[in-house]
Amino acid sequence: MLTQVSAPAIRPPRNKETTMHLDWYDREILTFVLDRTPRSVPANDASFARFGIDAHRLMRRFDAVVDVFTTHQIPLDASDLNLVERAARYRIAVQDAAARTA
């Protein structure tokens, strides 16, 4: 008795030529946070009005986006790569400032 077997899913080859893009939500979160000075925290009302989440969750999302794209070395297009690199430098500046005041 023969049974029908479905074909395996075909994945496109992963190479350095393929680039990814941030989605609009993550891009806006990075830009929103980067528009502030390293010592200022986004206000809850501003982050909730713009993104539907409070400032604490906004910063967690910011960190998650930076972590994913910096630790996994996902190839991004030039403008998104620039934005993620700026966000990574911003996060280091915030951490350094916190360490100096501790």
Residue 70 lies in a domain: yes
In tens, the pLDDT along 90-99 reads 999 888 887 8
Residue 1 lies in a domain: no
What are the mean pLDDT values of the chain's consecutive 10-residue runs (102 residues total)?
43 56 94 86 91 95 93 88 94 86 76
In tens, the pLDDT along 61-75 reads 999 999 998 888 888
Contact 30, 83 (CB under 8 A): yes
Expressed as residue numbers, the domain containing 34 is: 24-101
Domain count, the chain: 1
Contact 71, 13 (CB under 8 A): no
Q: Which among 69, 65, 58 is positioned nearest to 33, based on CA atoms?
A: 58
Residue 2 lies in a domain: no
